[in-house]
Amino acid sequence: MSKLKRVYAFGNKKADGNGEMKELLGGKGANLAEMNLIGIPVPPGFTITTEVCTEYFKLGQEKTVALIKAEVEAAMKQVEGIMDAQFGSKENPLLMSVRSGSRASMPGMMDTILNLGLNDEVVEGLAKRTGNPRFAWDSYRRFIQMYGDVVLGMKPESKEDHDPFEEIIDQLKEEKKIELDTDFSVDDLKEMVTRFKKVVKDKTGKDFPTDAWEQLWGSVMAVFDSWMNDRAVYYRRLNKIPSDWGTAINVQAMVYGNMGDNSATGVAFTRDSATGENLFNGEYLINAQGEDVVAGTRTPQEITLEGSRRWAKLQGVNEDERKAKYPSLEETMPNPYKELADICKNLEAHYKDMQDVEFTIQDGKLWMLQTRSGKRTGAAMVKIAIDMLAEGMIPEKTAVLSVAPERLDELLHPIFDTDALKNAKELAKGLPASPGAASGQIVFFADDAEKWAAEGKETILVRVETSPEDLKGMNVAKGILTARGGMTSHAAVVARGMGKCCVAGAGSIKVDYRARTMTIDKKEYKEGEWISLNGSTGQVLEGKVKTMLPELSGDFAQLMDLAEKYTRMKVRTNADTPRESLIARDFGAQGIGLCRTEHMFFEGDRIKAMREMILADDETGRRKALKKLLPIQREDFEGIFEAMQGLPVTVRLLDPPLHEFVPHEEASQKVMAEELGLSLQEVKAKVDSLHEFNPMLGHRGCRLGVTYPEITEMQARAIIEAALNLKKKGIKTFPEIMVPLIGDVSEYKNQEQIIRTTADKVFAERNDSIDYLVGTMIEVPRAVLTADKVAEVAEFFSFGTNDLTQMTMGFSRDDANTFLPEYIEKGILKDDPFQILDQTGVGQLIEMGVKKGRSVKSDLKIGICGEHGGEPSSVEFCNSVGMDYVSCSPFRVPIARLAAAQAVLKQSK
């Protein structure tokens, strides 16, 4: 057997591992080790490495056990020494927990088993030692259920099937006329255990395992298996976590928050995960186990007094009631509270990041169960980065790197219009669990949210509480509303992680799943009705409330300035109107990388002239129609150039196939025929003649300009005349005329000659001139392959990664949804290549194109104008191949700016 170390013990302020070893020990395991090393009280235990997980999937259970048995036994000895108890002992039993812990946090995704080591005899010993038989039998019945569900596979596959254990509990409640679990007597619990063991025997054909070690191995393997369960697989896909990372397993001595009123369990954040405020906060439950807090079944209490008061105000609870029913930890257990607060401060300072911790207080003693970097909203990311920079906790580069560019999107999302909000009717109020504004139609089931989203509907997912099974539906809903659960409930944590608007624990809402309605103050709201959520205030509003653009904080501006400082690439925008141009400029765009001219032809009367041009029989007819379009285009360009004054504007010549401009329904064709004084037959014949089997590969792009040179001529004239008109007004313009879809330099030359000849003609007519560039899109694979030839004449390249992806991969973006989802599901593709640049294939071509282009013109200006220009990993790629700029839609400009800066910082490492 290999001498590789596979088990890392920790406990009593010592540890085999440390916080740097996340790849091997998982995030939780590494942090448990690290906490020991910095003197924080952690229940002792050991971590089985992620490598063992990978081995397990190759070798299977038996061989894996053989591989780690000796190491595990040695580590267990150490735990027994520290806890002064023995695993499997009847008299002085040591109970253990088994938890997964992968490199990246995957909250609630995988399985956990608590209270390992119990059996009929041990439970008696435990009862005796703790003097708390109720606790001992409650732990035992919980253990059997957990183990049965997770290890023995008794958990029902679909939600409609009943959990056999839950069925027994319900039966017993009926028999005993009991309502709450807590009402069960010790004898009831004993009866429950008997029935639980019987159902295990009935369903699995085997007795429930009584041997502690058998229980341990079974649990370890089951947790490994849970790495491959559907939820985990989906979560990894959503969060781009490779499945070959595997999970580590943490086996730890049990500590109990449910040993009476001097025990508690809870979670805490070192800062506010929604707003980023430097405010220690968290929630706890007295006499409870950890899972109870997250599950949202009981409404948890705030740990700080300040937080508790704020909560009470939001919920309309007066101070007396609060003190009596919902006191803070600060009030109920001041000493453990103080220790917790100090530990949290230390942890944040140690990790230099906002921490999310789990703790248990057993009989007055505080144990830390976990610490990790806390999930937070985009806004919180920005605020925490800038605050920590100001506090001197982190340097500038770390601040820039600590914000996920994609998450800036949340800050740029619309918020409710201030006036509209005044008139909106508030239906209910819950916790502001995840900020943002969302309107949508009510749905009550996650799979409905998915179905409705597929039909293009916007939904609000309304649940009593959410669970990991709801993940997909939560991801596609516009917002999430729950009737129960606190700021750390599943709904709240997941929503913040997704940057999705969420109002949690709106207690006045009654959900009736069967009737598909929710009732607030006796008023019923049906599935499909519109509501709006304000995730920043916790308000639930009636109907669809108007939204507006948010004002950006000073923190945001400071972050952008920092990004600017470290970036190399420029960020431009894709914009077709002065309005879009101005928005992008406000966001810091340094020019337009793609101004599509075709959109300009659709509005109002323009489409008429455009159609006249298309329907013309010959060049003369086309020229006549183009003459009408010229002043319109010129005016459009003037508007855009003025909005972008002083900055370059890349104008792409007409690109889409002409059939996109003509009507395809007979009624519209009739109108068109009348307008143009033609017969319906003529119009139909022309429209038919424009039909193509594969328009994406058809008569479009520069192919139009080659066959109808007069179109290129008109567009070139409009651009140059617009620039000259502005020059007269003292406005500086830098037009860059871009030829689309070339596959060979001769196409480029053909178009370039028309453009230059036209420009020279206009210059002569006006007796004036401007500087301009002529360049080309690189979007056809052949253009990449011949980029050296193209670069001899073109003044700039702009990679059109949308088309390049289509042709390189042979995917039609309009059709790929027929198989792409299944491709991603089956792991054939990691991502949708239209969202995230396929660096392996398309990226290889881009690199080749850059190299070939620069081989003949070392200073060739190169950018990207496909939609990938605003996607962080793609921006990073663009930086790595040496592009001069990326261009993206206005709202993604800040994202691209941050990603561009991070690219420099990451690549200089």
**Residues in touch with a second copy (CB under 8 A):** 692-699, 703, 706-707, 741, 743-744, 746-747, 750, 779-782, 785-786, 803, 806-812, 814-816, 818-819, 822-823, 826-829, 838, 840-842, 844-845
Closest CA to 281 of 332, 340, 235: 340
Closer of 512 and 815 to a second copy (Cβ): 815
Which residue in the block uniquely carries the two structure tokens 């995960």? 273
Partners of 203 in the beta sheet? none
3-state secondary structure (DSSP) of residue 761: helix
Q: Measured between alpha carbons, how far is 898 from 906 in angstroms, rounded to an integer?
A: 12
H helices present in 151-185, as ranges: 164-176
CB of 877 to a second copy, least distance (A): 15
133 vs 841 by CB, closer to a second copy: 841
Cβ proximity to a second copy, 482 vs 805, nearer residue: 805
- Tell me which of 344, 702, 865, 888 is the catalytic residue: 865
Q: Write down the residue that tokens 């991070």 correspond to.
A: 902
Helix axes 212-226, 50-59, angle to 10 degrees: 90
Shortest Å, Cβ 746 to a second copy? 5
Is-contact 853 791, C-beta < 8 A? yes
The neighbour count for residue 553, using CB atoms within 10 Å, is: 15
**Min. distance of Cβ 783 from a second copy in angstroms?**
9
Residues 6+ apart with CB under 8 A from 338: none
> By three-state DSSP, how is residue 502 classified?
strand
Q: Is 659 a catalytic residue?
A: no
Nearest-approach distance from CB 396 to a second copy, in angstroms: 38
Nearer to a second copy, 291 or 660 (CB): 660
Q: Which residues 6+ apart lie within 8 Å of 226 measured at CB?
A: 100, 110, 111, 150, 232, 247
Q: Distance between CA atoms of 258 and 850, rounded to whole angstroms?
A: 63
Residue number with CB closer to a second copy (554 or 810): 810
Least CB distance to a second copy at residue 630 (A): 24
Q: Which residue has the tokens 């406000």?
A: 586
Q: For residues 501 and 820, which CB has a smaller minimum distance to a second copy in the complex?
A: 820
Looking at the DSSP assignment, which residues form a beta bridge with residue 264?
286, 361
Q: Which residue's entry shows tokens 């697989």? A: 233
Between residues 4 and 828, which has the closer beta carbon with respect to a second copy? Answer: 828
Residues 413 and 128: their CA atoms lie apart, in Å, by: 58
| In contact, 755 and 821? CB cutoff 8 Å | no
Active site residue 865: yes
- β-strands 247-253, 301-302 pairing: unpaired
The least CB distance from residue 813 to a second copy, in Å, is 9
Rg (the chain; Cα; Å): 32
Kindly state the smallest distance separating residue 462's Cβ from a second copy, in Å. Answer: 31
The residue (of 588 and 656) whose beta carbon lies closer to a second copy is: 656
CA distance 95 to 700: 71
Give least dist CB 406 to a second copy, A: 25
The label of the residue with tokens 């207080």 reads 361
Q: Give the 3-state secondary structure of 798-848.
A: EECHHHHHHHHHCCCCCCHHHCHHHHHHCCCCCCCCCCCCCCCCHHHHHHH
Q: Exactly one of 53, 344, 413, 490 is catalytic; name it.
A: 490
Tell me the three state secondary structure of residue 475.
Answer: helix
Nearer to a second copy, 18 or 750 (CB): 750
**Would strands 539-542 and 547-548 be described as parallel, antiparallel, or unpaired?**
unpaired
Task: Tell me the residue type at 234.
Answer: Y
Which amino acids are annotated catalytic? 490, 865
